[in-house]
Amino acid sequence: MAVYEYRGLDQAGRDIKGIIDADSPRLARAKLRRSGIFPTEILADRYPRKAVAEPVSIGALFGRIKIQDISIMTRQMATLVGAGLPIVEALTALIDQTENVRLKKVITQVRESVNEGSSLADAMSRFPKVFSELYANMINAGESSGALDIVLRRLADFMENQVMLRNKVLSTLTYPIILVLVGIAILSFLLVSVVPKVVRIFDELEQALPTPTLILISVTDFLRDYWWILLMIAVGGIFALRQYAATGRGRQIYDRIILKIPITGKLLRIVVTTRFTRTLAILLNSGIPLLQSMDIAKAVVNNAVISGAIESAKESIREGESIAEPLRRSRVFPSMVTHMIAVGEKTAELEQMLFKISDAYENEVETTISRMTSLLGPVVILVLGGVVLFIVLAILLPMFEMNQIVR
């Protein structure tokens, strides 16, 4: 079924435009007339289903559906459903309110599927790159329990927390990244424009040069003559690493190394733990069974080592063990996490304990990032200053020696 954009007149004679699902332009016109709209223009098959199901393709890079758009849509839908509107009417209102064209087309197709008898969860699960497995399963739980508006609010809160955490990470790392880029630009200018001119003067004098100057000349000549080789090695290395990391064994080794990096590895472990515990808490609180919840939460971890630990824990739980013990044996989660999970199991307050864990670790992520940023700035300045100092000394030392000879 294709998606069409239409323009027309409603029963009051007012201009109206929108998007509709149909198998052909003729059926689209008939469908519009049945709903009281007289179409004046239908743009045939401009938005095929493939473009909607793959919103992050290269050709659609600037029109992709962002998590912020889905979060806003979820919050609006929670309000509409909570006000007592039927699902189809709520989806129709969302189509009018949504500004993202691609998301508007997805909601249109979801509405048509619901009109044809599908559940909302089934209709959304047809777009896995827009609505994740977590999203579709929680919608299914909300429909089954009759608390769809509550589930939608939890989903909106979850996505807003994820966006907020990511934005904090990006904002705190902006200054060091800009500092590094500016430093690289300055060093490139010195090595490409300034140093060769000075070196040419030394060559003309045919004077014995000090070691720092010889090192600088060698580095400059190498970068000038073989920069393309370095570029090819860098691009080839990145490509080879990505290909190796795409294999099962490669991904395991890569993720294990990432977790063992002294500072960033600990931060990544905390972020993954936060994501896992909050996702598991939301799923359990929505009435989804434990094993199914762990399976879904495992998918949002995005780390093969930790995913493997969760899978092993799930198998142990299926055999009758508690949740905390197999997670503790895996040694990939902090001891405080497994201890608090064990307490939550004993007190029958597992969901609340998981929420507390995620809240505590979110605060630790913010503190760790702030501390890293405050240290990273001075370190970058010192490194760049040291490189610039070496270049200056390498240029000035021959001049000092020339001055001594003249005297």
Spell out the per-residue pLDDT of the chain, length 407, in tens.
Answer: 566 777 777 777 777 777 776 667 777 777 777 777 777 777 754 444 443 443 333 334 345 788 888 888 898 998 988 888 888 888 888 888 888 888 888 888 888 888 888 888 889 988 888 888 778 888 887 887 777 888 888 888 888 887 887 787 777 777 778 888 888 888 878 777 777 777 777 766 666 778 888 888 888 888 778 888 888 998 999 999 888 888 888 888 888 888 888 777 888 888 888 888 888 888 888 788 888 888 888 877 878 888 888 888 888 888 888 888 888 888 888 888 889 988 988 888 888 899 898 888 888 887 887 787 778 778 888 888 888 888 888 888 877 776 665 55
Q: How far is Cα 165 from Cα 342, in angstroms, rounded to an integer? A: 27
User: Does residue 402 fall inside a structural domain?
Assistant: no
Beta bridge partners of 91: none
Q: Using CA atoms, how far apart are residues 270 and 304, in angstroms rounded to an integer?
A: 15
Check: pTM over 0.85? Answer yes or no.
Answer: no
Which amino acid, one-letter code, is at 42? Answer: I
Any domain includes 229: no
CA dihedral 58, 63, 64, 68 (to 10 degrees): 150
Strand order across the 38-47 sheet? 15-22, 2-9, 38-47
Domain shared by 107 and 28, yes or no:
no
**Enclosing H/E stretch for 19:** strand 15-22
Q: Is 320 left (phi over 0), alpha (psi -120 to 50) or beta?
A: left
Does 147 reside within a domain?
no
Indicate whether 62 and 98 sit together in one domain. yes
What is the CB-side half-sphere exposure of residue 277 using CA atoms within 13 A? 29
Q: Where a domain ends, among 98, 131, 164?
A: 131
C-beta atoms surrounding 207 within 10 Å: 13
**Alpha helix segments (H runs only) across 246-331:** 248-260, 264-285, 290-299, 304-318, 324-330
Provide the 3-class DSSP secondary structure of residue 126: coil
Tokens at 147, concatenated: 């608390």
Structure tokens at 36: 């009281």
The amino acid present at 214, given as its one-letter code, is: L
Which pair of structure tokens corresponds to residue 369? Answer: 């990032």
Is residue 314 domain-resident?
A: yes
Q: Is there a single domain that holds both residue 326 and residue 346?
A: yes
Nearest 5 degrees, angle CA 131-CA 135-CA 141?
Answer: 140
CATH number assigned to the domain comprising residue 312 = 1.20.81.30
Q: Are 71 and 156 in contact (CB under 8 A)?
A: yes
Total domains present in the chain? 3
Instruction: Compute the distance between CA of residue 2 and CA of residue 109 in angstroms, rounded to an integer.
Output: 9
- Same-domain pairing of 271 and 353: yes
pLDDT score at 50: 41
Task: Please tell me the distance from the alpha carbon of residue 311 to that of residue 342, in angstroms, as a whole number.
Answer: 18
User: What residues form DSSP beta bridges with 8?
Assistant: 16, 39
Q: Does 30 share its domain with 117?
A: no
Q: By 3-state DSSP, what share of the chain in percent is helix, strand and coil, each rounded to 5?
A: 75, 5, 15
Q: Are residues 350 and 275 in the same domain?
A: yes
Shared-domain flag, residues 85 and 114: yes
Q: Are residues 29 and 70 in the same domain?
A: no
Q: Say yes or no: 26 and 65 in one domain.
A: no
255 belongs to a structural domain: no
Residue 252 in any domain: the answer is: no
User: Across-strand partners of 22?
Assistant: 2
Which run of H or of E encompasses 158?
A: helix 148-189
Single-letter code of the amino acid located at 383:
V
66: alpha, beta or left? (left if phi > 0; alpha if psi -120 to 50): beta
Cα–Cα distance, 399 to 404 (Å, whole number):
9
Position 382 in a domain: no
Task: Answer whether residue 9 is part of any domain.
Answer: yes
The verdict on 84 and 10 lying in the same domain is: no
Sign of CA dihedral 167, 171, 176, 177: positive
What does residue 41 show for φ and ψ, rounded to 5 degrees?
-155, 135
- The one-letter amino acid at 15: D
Which of 110, 131, 152 is where one domain is finished?
131
Give the residue numbers spanning the domain of 265. Answer: 260-359
